[in-house]
């Protein structure tokens, strides 16, 4: 169902890889709600993914950008404004990568070059993106910037590894930069903390199926899907959430406020 919530709005969507990714689902929903946008991802992800198909479907252009490169980000923002014909109303940062996870390094024995690289891609890239948008005065008043995060930033999920630290840093950047973006430009910055979701990126984490099953049993409404996250993001991009900023917003079926559930207890206690 479309409500025309984003009619006339322009944006940039980072991180659409394939039809499972939250960024991909968000792009489809933005298109349905009347928004136009530029799609971007790292050159290697563009080769691996199916983003051209999404671009065709949504009438969008694709601009390759390494989100850790200021030069690439400046080019991305300038070109996006040219293509879209004006300033930017919304941005989705949906990027995360841990080389330590990929290489199977345990949290207690990281390769710190890998740690630094993952931190740069997953967290600092959000600061760099906002820095370019801020210094180029590229956002419209009441624009909305969203980054996707996960609850491992607050609580221990042992196999989430150094991505937990990256997400904690990402959330802090959202608050700190969000203050300046709000005060100086009337732009809001928030993070959405999503249920574990079976995306291509998420499935790289050891024991991920267990995360999903446990969260499903723990959450009164069950896990939020990628589609649910896309819909929440649309609400945050719309004019209906104008005064919401500096927030870490849980889209997790209630998981974050649960201590234990009947369904989880039943697993441990015989009938």
pLDDT tens column, 162-177: 999 999 999 999 999 9
- Give the mean model confidence (pLDDT) for residues 33-44: 96
Q: What is the mean pLDDT of the chain?
A: 96
Who contacts 3 (Cβ-Cβ below 8 Å, separation ≥6)?
33
Q: Where are the beta strands (DSSP E) in the chain?
A: 10-14, 36-41, 61-64, 88-93, 139-149, 188-194, 248-251
Q: How does DSSP classify residue 37? A: E
What are the pLDDT digits (tens) for 99-108?
999 999 999 9
Alpha carbon distance 188, 241 (integer Å)? 9
CA 144 to chain centre: 13
What span, in angstroms and rounded, lies between the C-alpha atoms of 206 and 152? 14
The whole model's pTM is what? 0.97
The residue assigned the tokens 């999503």 is 194
pLDDT the model gives residue 200: 78
21 is in an annotated binding site: yes
Q: What's the per-residue H, E or C state across 182-216?
A: HHHHCCEEEEEEECCCCCCCHHHCCCHHHHHHHHH
Question: Does the pLDDT at position 25 exceed 80?
Answer: yes
- Examine the pLDDT at 133 and tell me if it is beyond 70: yes
- Could you tell me the pLDDT band of residue 136, with boundaries at 50, 70 and 90? very high
Residues 6+ apart with CB under 8 A from 94: 13, 14, 15, 16, 21, 22, 23, 26, 147, 148
- How many H-runs (helices) and E-runs (strands) does the chain carry? 11, 7
Is 2 annotated for ligand binding? no
**Nearest-angstrom CA–CA distance, 59 and 64:** 17
pLDDT confidence band for 270 (50 / 70 / 90)? low
The tens digit of pLDDT for each residue in 231-267 reads 999 999 999 999 999 999 999 999 999 999 999 999 8
pLDDT tens string 5-23:
999 999 999 999 999 999 9
Domain boundaries, the chain: 10-207+224-259
15 is in an annotated binding site: yes
Q: Which tokens in the block code for residue 212?
A: 């999903």
Q: How confident is the model at residue 271 (pLDDT cuts 50, 70, 90)?
A: low
Catalytically active residues are 150, 160
Nearest to 178 by CA among 126, 137, 140: 126
What is the CA angle 34-1-14, rounded to 5?
A: 50
Query: Hey, which CATH number is domain 10-207+224-259, 3.40.50.2300, 2.40.10.480, 3.40.50.720, 1.10.10.60?
Result: 3.40.50.720
Q: What is the pLDDT of residues 190-241, one digit of tens each?
A: 999 999 998 877 776 778 888 899 999 999 999 999 999 999 999 999 999 9
Question: 225, 219 in Cβ contact below 8 A?
Answer: no
CB neighbour list of residue 187: distance below 8 Å, 6 or more residues apart:
139, 140, 141, 142, 143, 144, 145, 181
Specify the pLDDT at position 202.
72
* 79 is an annotated ligand-binding site residue: no
Query: CA-CA-CA-CA torsion for 88, 241, 32, 38, nearest 10 degrees?
Result: 20
CA 10 – CA 35 distance, rounded (Å): 6
pLDDT of residue 76: 98
pLDDT digits (tens, 9 = 90+) for 56-103: 999 999 999 999 999 999 999 999 999 999 999 999 999 999 999 999
């Amino acid at each position: 169902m479309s409500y025309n919530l984003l009619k006339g709005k322009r944006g940039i969507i980072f991180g659409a890889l394939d039809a499972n990714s939250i960024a991909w689902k968000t792009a489809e929903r933005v298109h349905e709600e009347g928004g136009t946008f530029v799609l971007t991802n790292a050159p290697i992800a563009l080769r691996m993914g199916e983003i051209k198909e999404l671009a065709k479907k949504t009438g969008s252009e694709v601009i390759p950008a390494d989100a850790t490169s200021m030069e690439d980000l400046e080019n991305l923002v300038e070109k996006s404004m040219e293509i879209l014909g004006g300033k930017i109303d919304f941005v989705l940062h949906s990027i995360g990568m841990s080389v330590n996870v990929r290489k199977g390094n345990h949290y207690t024995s990281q390769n710190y070059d890998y740690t630094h690289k993952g931190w740069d891609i997953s967290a600092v890239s959000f600061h760099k993106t906002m820095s370019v948008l801020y210094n180029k005065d590229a956002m419209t008043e009441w624009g909305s910037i969203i980054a996707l995060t996960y609850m491992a930033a607050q609580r221990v999920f042992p196999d989430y590894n150094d991505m937990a630290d990256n997400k904690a840093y990402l959330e802090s950047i959202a608050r700190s930069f969000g203050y300046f973006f709000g005060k100086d430009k009337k732009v809001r910055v928030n993070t959405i903390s999503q249920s574990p979701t079976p995306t291509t990126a998420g499935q790289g984490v050891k024991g991920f199926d267990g995360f999903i099953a446990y969260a499903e049993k723990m959450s009164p409404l069950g896990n939020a899907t990628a589609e649910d996250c896309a819909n929440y993001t649309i609400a945050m991009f719309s004019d209906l959430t104008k005064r919401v900023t500096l927030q870490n917003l849980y889209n997790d079926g209630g998981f974050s406020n649960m201590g234990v559930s009947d369904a989880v207890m039943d697993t441990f206690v015989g009938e």
